[in-house]
């Protein structure tokens, strides 16, 4: 992994080139080592939906809390039903402990079974039982569903709506979940105004998808002191700066990061988005992404999003459905660089590249159905290859 650069070394790098780009694998390893899930906070069960549990959730009571009818019907004593059949219907009115019940009702005193409505008939005006029931039939016993002391939800579990219903039914009020990371977003560029900053509103939507809370700020000028001041502000769990990441004369962001803290990675062997930097300032991880929206998106999806997902406690892997599809045309990629290759699914279900390499147009991202991440050790794929395609929108929404 490249060692940290000083501001002096960096200013001599601008308008020359990146000294030593990190590989994508090195970059992911840096993120996974540097960034751990945030501490837990407790929330109500339904507020926990979509969050990740920060500990095992233990059932404090039984569910159901009492014996209850499992079906709509009649609660009775099983012994009274012996011999009932289509040929020997027994009028229900003759039975003791008889009571009509709805599913979920407490089983009345004296009854030990619930017969379903379907096993009765009332052709003659009185309701008759046409089948015998065994003791316990149609009854759900206390603790059958969940017994006190068991763990319905383990640690690091995504809480689903039905989970919240179960926890509420169990009376578990405080659910420990991983705190949602505050992700501070800012674009860098003297030419930018809030209305022309496309990166931070785009990233805000992606941060929310990945479990973070986006905190957008107005654009910063190309001014190293202003960027350093921004990086010194407390309160964020991750800072993402978009723009000024490259090698131009106005590209001061990586240099400012080195000045405000530590620049751990400067440049990644990834196309587009080779100008990504990562580091630390004020004790918080910082990602510098390219300002061009298409490269910014590639950089977020391949690198920065992983940091957000790590903080939020979820899996750091790509949050996309991945399918193996066949290439309709070859995918060309230079060896030595990982390639975020946008692909389109053809009418016959194969994939064709829309763009790869250093220049990414926003339209190639918009027209794409997904992407293939071409590994650095591979110079693309020939036509007819099976490639793993990460789908931007699951097929059920297309």
Sites for a second copy among residues 87-126 (CB under 8 A): 100-105, 117-118, 120-122
Residue 178 host element (H or E): strand 175-178
CB 34 within 8 A of CB 285: yes
- Note every long-range contact of 140-143, with CB atoms under 8 Å and residues 24 or more positions apart, other chains counting: 140/64, 140/67, 140/68, 140/69, 140/70, 141/64, 141/67, 142/62, 142/64, 142/65, 142/66, 142/67, 143/62, 143/63, 143/64
Q: Binders of a second copy among 132-151, rule CB under 8 A?
A: 140, 144-146
Residue 82 vs 117, nearer CB to a second copy: 117
Q: How far is the CB of 359 from a second copy (least distance, A)?
A: 5
Q: Which of 267, 293, 353, 380 binds a second copy (CB under 8 A)?
A: 293
**Comparing C-alpha atoms, which of 285, 369, 373, 379 is closest to residue 334?**
379
Return the range that interacts with a second copy (CB under 8 A); candidates 78-86, 234-242, 279-287, 291-299: 291-299
Residue 361 vs 385, nearer CB to a second copy: 361
Residue 103 vs 131, nearer CB to a second copy: 103
Residue 153 vs 376, nearer CB to a second copy: 153
> Which letter, b or e, does each residue of 344-357 get, where b requires 16 or more Cβ atoms within 10 Å of its Cβ?
ebeeeebbebbbbe
Q: Which of 225, 315, 335, 349 binds a second copy (CB under 8 A)?
A: 315
Residue window 320-349: x/- pattern of binding to a second copy, with contact defined by CB under 8 A: xx----------------------------
Q: How far is residue 160's CA from residue 162's CA, in Å, rounded to a whole number? A: 6
Q: Binders of a second copy among 31-50, rule CB under 8 A?
A: 46, 49-50
Instruction: Specify the 3-state DSSP secondary structure of 27.
Output: helix
* Binding flag, residue 396, a second copy (CB under 8 A): yes
Q: Binders of a second copy among 347-386, rule CB under 8 A?
A: 358-359, 361-363, 365-367
* Binding flag, residue 198, a second copy (CB under 8 A): yes
**Comparing C-alpha atoms, which of 364, 330, 367 is closest to residue 350?**
330
Return the range that interacts with a second copy (CB under 8 A); candidates 154-162, 176-184, 327-335, 381-389: 154-162
């Amino acid at each position: 992994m490249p060692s940290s650069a000083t501001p002096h070394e960096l200013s001599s790098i601008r308008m020359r080139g990146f000294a030593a780009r990190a590989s994508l694998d090195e970059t992911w390893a840096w993120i996974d080592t540097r960034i751990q899930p945030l501490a837990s906070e407790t929330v109500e069960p339904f507020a926990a939906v979509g969050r990740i549990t920060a500990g095992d959730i233990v059932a404090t009571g039984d569910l159901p809390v009492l014996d209850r009818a499992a079906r709509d019907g009649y609660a009775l004593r099983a012994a009274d039903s012996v011999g009932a059949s289509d040929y020997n219907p027994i009028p229900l009115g003759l039975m003791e402990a008889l009571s009509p019940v709805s599913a979920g009702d407490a089983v009345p005193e004296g009854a030990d079974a619930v017969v379903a409505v379907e096993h009765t008939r009332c052709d003659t005006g009185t309701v008759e039982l046409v089948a015998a029931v065994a003791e316990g039939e149609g009854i759900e016993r206390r603790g059958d569903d969940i017994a006190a002391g068991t763990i319905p939800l383990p640690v690091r579990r995504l809480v689903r709506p039905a989970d919240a219903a179960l926890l509420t039914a169990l009376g578990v009020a405080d659910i420990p979940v991983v705190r949602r990371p505050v992700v501070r977003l800012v674009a860098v560029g003297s030419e930018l105004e809030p209305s022309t900053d496309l990166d931070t509103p785009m990233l805000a939507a992606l941060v929310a998808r990945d479990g973070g809370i986006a905190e957008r700020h107005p654009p910063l000028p190309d001014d190293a002191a202003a960027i350093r001041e921004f990086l010194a502000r407390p309160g964020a769990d991750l800072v993402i700066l978009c723009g000024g990441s490259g090698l131009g004369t106005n590209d001061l962001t990586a240099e400012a990061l080195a000045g405000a803290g530590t620049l751990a990675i400067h440049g990644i062997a990834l196309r587009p988005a080779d100008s990504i930097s990562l580091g630390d300032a004020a004790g918080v991880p910082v990602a510098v992404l390219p300002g061009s929206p298409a490269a910014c998106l590639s950089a977020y999806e391949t690198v920065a999003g992983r940091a957000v997902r790590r903080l939020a406690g979820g899996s750091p892997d790509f949050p996309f459905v991945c399918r193996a599809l066949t290439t309709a045309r070859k995918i060309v990629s230079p060896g030595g660089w990982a390639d975020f290759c946008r692909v389109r699914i053809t009418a016959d279900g194969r994939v064709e590249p829309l763009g790869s390499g250093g220049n990414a147009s926003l339209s190639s991202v918009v027209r794409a159905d997904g992407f293939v991440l071409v590994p650095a050790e591979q110079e693309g794929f020939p036509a007819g290859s099976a490639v793993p395609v990460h789908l931007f929108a699951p097929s059920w929404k297309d």
